[in-house]
Amino acid sequence: MAAYLVIQLARFGLDAASLTNTGLLFADDLQKLRKGDLVIILAYGRVYAELAALLDEIGRRGVGSLLLTDTLAAKLRRRVDLVLPVARGRADMLSMHTATLGLLEMLLVGVAVRRPGETLASLQGLNEMRQRLTGKAMNLPIPKGDR
């Protein structure tokens, strides 16, 4: 899910990265954080070591934070800027993330709506690069009001 979000934000022309290492390598991820960043945290069930370290570093560096969670809102509300509750379904021993994916899609639409000119320009540039690679037009439709 994190990789999907990062790819989509980059397609919109935003600098994005995922912090997905575990154990000692997570320290490498934490070094990427910069003042002015927004960290979107997907955390379910419990506060594990990497999540605790991330929350500490967010507080230390003054980084913005958005927590998507099913059960940790009450425990972490004071350590993040905003909590969006999102249920996680279960099917036998498998956790289902359909609601989380839907919420991420809504956030992406919100980003695009907030900065339509930049988003469309970035998507047009992406399609031009694809055309150069394939020799075929990608034909990204542009809404008439944005031309």
CATH number at residue 109: 3.40.50.10490
Q: Which two tokens stand for residue 20?
A: 């997905």
Asked, for residue 21, whether it belongs to a domain, the answer is yes
In a domain, 146, yes or no: no
What whole-number percentage of the chain has pLDDT above 70? Answer: 89
Q: What is the DSSP string of 84-147?
A: EE---EEETTEEE-HHHHHHHHHHHHHHHHHSHHHHHHHHHHHHHHHHHHHSS-------GGG-
Position 140 scores a pLDDT of 63
**Domain count for the chain:** 1
Answer whether residue 147 is part of any domain.
Answer: no
Q: Does some domain include residue 117?
A: yes
Which residue range is the domain that position 56 belongs to?
A: 2-141
pLDDT in tens, 26-70: 999 999 999 999 999 999 889 999 999 999 999 999 999 999 999
Q: What pTM was estimated for this model as a whole?
A: 0.83
